[in-house]
Structure 1
Amino acid sequence: MTSAAANPSIAFDKAGHGEPALLMLPGWCGPRTMFDGLRARTARHRTTLAIDWRGHGETPSGAGDFGTAELVADAVDVIERAGITRVVPLAAAHAGWVAIELRRRLGPERVPAIVLLDWMVLGTPPGFGDALAGLRDPDRWQQVRDSLVALWTEGVDNPDVLGYVDVMAGYDAAMWARAGREIAAEFAAHHTPLAALEPLGCPTLHLYAQPADEDFLAAQRDYAVTHPWFRVQRLRARSHFPSLEAPDAVAAAIDAFLREVDGSGSR
């Protein structure tokens, strides 16, 4: 990954006290509001930061294009501006690539663990590569975006989830194309998130609710048997946004994980 300049205008919230801090990283085309309810819970036990990426939420896009390298630079800058020594990235979906790079760049002393939220940790499903290409196609991006919205809202009646997905749908063609380009590049470079994590051996927890496919859960549990740094927990929720739908369960799982890894849970 190439080096990139940080954006000093990155908007972020900071609450709570204690380290390791949680750094909440939303996915592409989503603002930090996805963590509002969760942040109030995790801040009871530790410093909690939540950021808006460039061009998202309250952060301006700035000049020129940007990609994963710039997001990593922005995350490092926020960590430094907040005066944080030890931090655990909590990454939604494809922000997981940023979390992995933070561990690689800052090392285990500063990034002792990672929490992944609802991600394709075993690799992309059939048709996903075509969808990413479609997001970069001026004639297809809206169709692909609408298909994603339909997937994320099918069978979901939680108003917070529905409202958040509606906000995501409002991002423009340029941002969706950027998301498609960057996500495709990371999967092409690393194949799967777990493959990227293996050389790091970083204690990692994957929290997710969907898909409810038993094979998906079993495959992750099998992987955990031979890779003890990896843990997985499926949550009781109907959407791909458990931080919005089940913040109590997500907060409890994170606290238990960090107490196990670091001995620094609830005080």
Structure 2
Amino acid sequence: MAEEKKEDRMKRKICIVAVKISFDQQGEGEPALVFVHGWGNTKSVWDAQMAHFSEKYGVIAVDLPGFGESGYNRTNWTTASFGEDVAAVIKKLNLKKVVLVGFCSGAYNIIETAKMAPENIIGLVLVDIFQNVEMEYSPEMLAYMDSVMWDVV
């Protein structure tokens, strides 16, 4: 496997309704794999996948607005608006065959994207998506989650 160099990536930004969306693009080929991070992450969470899959496919990792290198100037912070942002990147790059890959809350965002651009989406990969968002956690579980939440940073 060829050693990936971050400087080989094409870093790009587009402006969608006054908010800048940053994404990295690497490799060529179809289908294109579009990676979307979860809450509290950035596109860099996909670095290993970008390096691996760019040998055979075109890969794009998106920083959703409010995260990483994307803009913060928006008033609508919904799953649907994040889905629109990903759809806008797909449209801007003129991608015809796309597999969307979403991690955690990013998985919900790509479901919205798939509803908006079904003609371009040939597959979805949902990584660590919550099965029951309505589940109530005990105070002990909430305290534990809070204590380990930032250990990764």
**TM range, normalised to the smaller chain?**
0.7 to 0.9
Structure 1 pair 66/39, CA: closer, same or farther in 2 (3 Å)?
same
Of Structure 1 and Structure 2, the greater helix share is in 1
Q: Which amino acid aligns with 1:40?
A: A
1:127 aligns with 2:143: no
TM-score normalised to the size of structure 2?
A: 0.76
- Superposed CA RMSD in Å reads 2.6
Distance in 1, matches of 2:143 and 2:67, equals: 17
Q: Max radius of gyration: which structure? A: 1
Does the Cα contact within 8 Å between 1:6 and 1:77 map onto a contact in 2?
no
Shift of 1:151: 5.8
Q: Which residue does the alignment assign to 1:111? A: 121
Of Structure 1 and Structure 2, the greater strand share is in 2
Counting matched residue pairs gives 136
TM-score normalised to the size of structure 1?
A: 0.46
Aligned residues with identical type, % of pairs:
24
Partner of 2:113, secondary structure, is helix
Match runs of 1:239-258 below 5 Å: none
Distance in 1, matches of 2:81 and 2:17, equals: 6
Q: What does the per-residue CA deviation read over 1:170-195, in whole Å, with 9 as the maximum and x for residues that have no partner?
A: xxxxxxxxxxxxxxxxxxxxxxxxxx
Distance in 2, matches of 1:77 and 1:33, equals: 20
Q: What does the per-residue CA deviation read over 1:216-250, in whole Å, with 9 as the maximum and x for residues that have no partner?
A: xxxxxxxxxxxxxxxxxxxxxxxxxxxxxxxxxxx
Shift of 1:97: 1.4
Give structure 2 stretches of 5+ with no counterpart: 1-15
Q: Which residue does the alignment assign to 1:15? A: 26
1:150 aligns with 2:136: no
Q: Which residue does the alignment assign to 1:77? A: 88
Q: Which has the higher mean CA deviation after the structures are superposed, 59-68 or 26-35? A: 59-68
Structure 1 pair 53/85, CA: closer, same or farther in 2 (3 Å)?
same
Of 37, 46, 52, the match for 2:57 = 46
Q: Which amino acid aligns with 1:114?
A: L
Give structure 1 stretches of 5+ with no counterpart: 132-143, 154-161, 167-267
Shift of 1:52: 0.6
